[in-house]
Amino acid sequence: MADVTIEWGHTFHLRVLDVGLACCAVEFAAAAARGADMAALGARPFAPEPREANVMVISGTVTDKLAPHVKRLYDEMPAGSYVMSFGSCANCGGPYWDSYSVTKGVDQMIPVDVYVPGCPPRPEALLGGLALLNDRIAADLRAAP
Amino acid sequence: MTPDALLHLVNEITGATTADSFGTPTVDLAVDAWLTSAAALRDDPRTDMDYFDWLSAYDDGDAGLAVVARVWSVALRHGSVLRARVSRDGGALPSLTGVWAGAAWHERETHEMFGIEFEGHPDLAPLLLSEGFNGHPLRKEFGLASRAAKEWPGAKEPGESVAGRKRPLGLPSGDRWGTT
Amino acid sequence: MGHDVTLPERSRGVIALREESCTSCMVCARECPDWCIYIDSHKETEPATAEGARPRTRHVLDRFAIDYALCMYCGICIEVCPWDALFWSPEYDHPSTDVLGLTHERDTLGVWMRSVPSRPTQTG
């Protein structure tokens, strides 16, 4: 029951931690500037610290050097937090798929709930991704005992 | 100073082959003249190259590895490019950190990317690569694992579903990506 | 997906395939810098239609897929396609909960053709 309550809280209050690592972060900022659209999805961008967030949006290129720090941010978030991979680099390396230094997808180290394609994705694609995440949380709710 | 006059001046100070590259004199220095020539270009009041811009290297195949540094005179608004060639195996060059302290990070990066030693550098610890990284990725013989692991979709011929022998365009020949 | 967006009709959201124009010549798959276009095809022989004519061989497309998780949306495949089979479509919004769900096969790529503008942009 406690889980269900937490999930229910999530659907109406996505506090987004922006892990902006490259050019996709600009698109994230553009989406975040559409406050009304974000609010319609129950989302508030720019959580001040991981502990106050329940959704992590990784927008940009994760390098092997940086990957442990992204993992640490995830570990500092509350249990049951969600992760969105925003853009080709975070999805699977993107243009740097053959690079010696770029992690080939953040899902290699943390579980990803929603993948948003694009290089970069449009700002509106972030809203689409959040909507899908809401659907997923709602599905989790229905599946809960 | 005209580019031509600067070219002759750099040549006179270093005594080494100097060529014009897009208006900037590029001087090819021997390894043992690397430090003295750099210091001379900095200290001579006619060149006065007191500002260190950058240092890097490139893989020149059989000719070895070429280390390139660009320096600049803030007061006189002119610069020069210094170049030295070192061997692929155990190539070493004296560190410029004693001449321009700003060279330290550039030499660290060049060390990890190309495996070139900089003698006299205070600490050549890796700067950009992740911990435990094996190899020198900007050398041409460095194999990119992703390219080796993934089958090139273009290897199939039209009307076929199995990979033929066609190689990716513009990539080195050989059995594997990265081998020349 | 729950929000209304009006996009310019020529905005570059995703790459669509007009399958009947594709001759499975492999040019796009070979030019793709990300190696993210996968094509399978086979040969079929059509019998001669007239007396003295030779039977003709043609290529039949079996699979055309683009991995949009990997795609860098550079549009090189569209530029190089000699048969004008690939087009920019403005449909950007197709997130997935599974990374494999971002690899779209020719049926989806064909559906996206519906939103491709029919005429070139008027200039001047």
Q: Is residue C92 included in any domain, yes or no?
A: yes
Q: For position C8, what pLDDT does the model report?
A: 83
Across the A:B interface, residue pairs with CB atoms under 8 Å apart total 27
pLDDT tens for each residue of A1-52: 566 666 666 666 889 999 999 999 999 999 998 888 888 888 888 999 999 9
Q: Is A138 on the interface with C (CB under 8 A)?
A: no
Cβ atoms of residues B127 and B133 within 8 Å: no
Q: What is the rounded distance in angstroms from the CA atom of residue B40 to the CA atom of residue B152?
A: 52
Q: What is the number of domains present in chain C?
A: 1
Residue C120 has pLDDT above 90, yes or no: no
Q: Is residue C67 included in any domain, yes or no?
A: yes
B97 vs C48, more confident: B97
pLDDT tens for each residue of B137-178: 999 888 888 887 888 888 888 888 787 777 775 565 555 544
Q: Which residues of B touch A63 (CB under 8 A)?
A: 130
| Three-state DSSP class for residue C27 | helix
Q: For position A40, what pLDDT does the model report?
A: 86
Q: For position A11, what pLDDT does the model report?
A: 62
Count the residues in chain C.
124
Mean pLDDT of A63-71: 94
Give the residue ranges of DSSP H helices in chain C.
27-31, 76-80, 106-111
| pLDDT confidence bin for B180, thresholds 50/70/90 | very low
Mean pLDDT of chain A: 89
Q: Is residue C77 included in any domain, yes or no?
A: yes
Q: Which domain holds residue C83?
A: 14-44+56-114
Q: Which residues of A touch C99 (CB under 8 A)?
A: 85, 91-92, 105, 107, 112, 115
Mean pLDDT of A93-122: 93
CB contact under 8 A, B159 and C41: yes
pLDDT tens for each residue of B16-38: 999 999 989 999 999 999 999 99
Q: Which residues of B touch A101 (CB under 8 A)?
A: 128-130, 137
pLDDT tens for each residue of B112-139: 999 999 999 999 999 999 888 989 999 9
This prediction's pTM:
0.86
Cβ atoms of residues C12 and C75 within 8 Å: yes
Of the residues A91, A98, A106, A130, the best mutation for testing chain C's interface (the one with the most C CB atoms within 10 Å of its CB) is A91
Q: Is residue C34 included in any domain, yes or no?
A: yes
Shortest alpha-carbon distance between residue C1 and chain A (Å): 5
CATH number at residue C35: 3.30.70.3270
Of the residues C23, C39, C62, the best mutation for testing chain B's interface (the one with the most B CB atoms within 10 Å of its CB) is C39
Q: Is residue C122 included in any domain, yes or no?
A: no
Q: Which residues of A touch C70 (CB under 8 A)?
A: 88, 91-94, 97
Q: What is the rounded distance in angstroms from the CA atom of residue B122 to the CA atom of residue B128?
A: 17
Partners of A117 in the β-ladder:
none
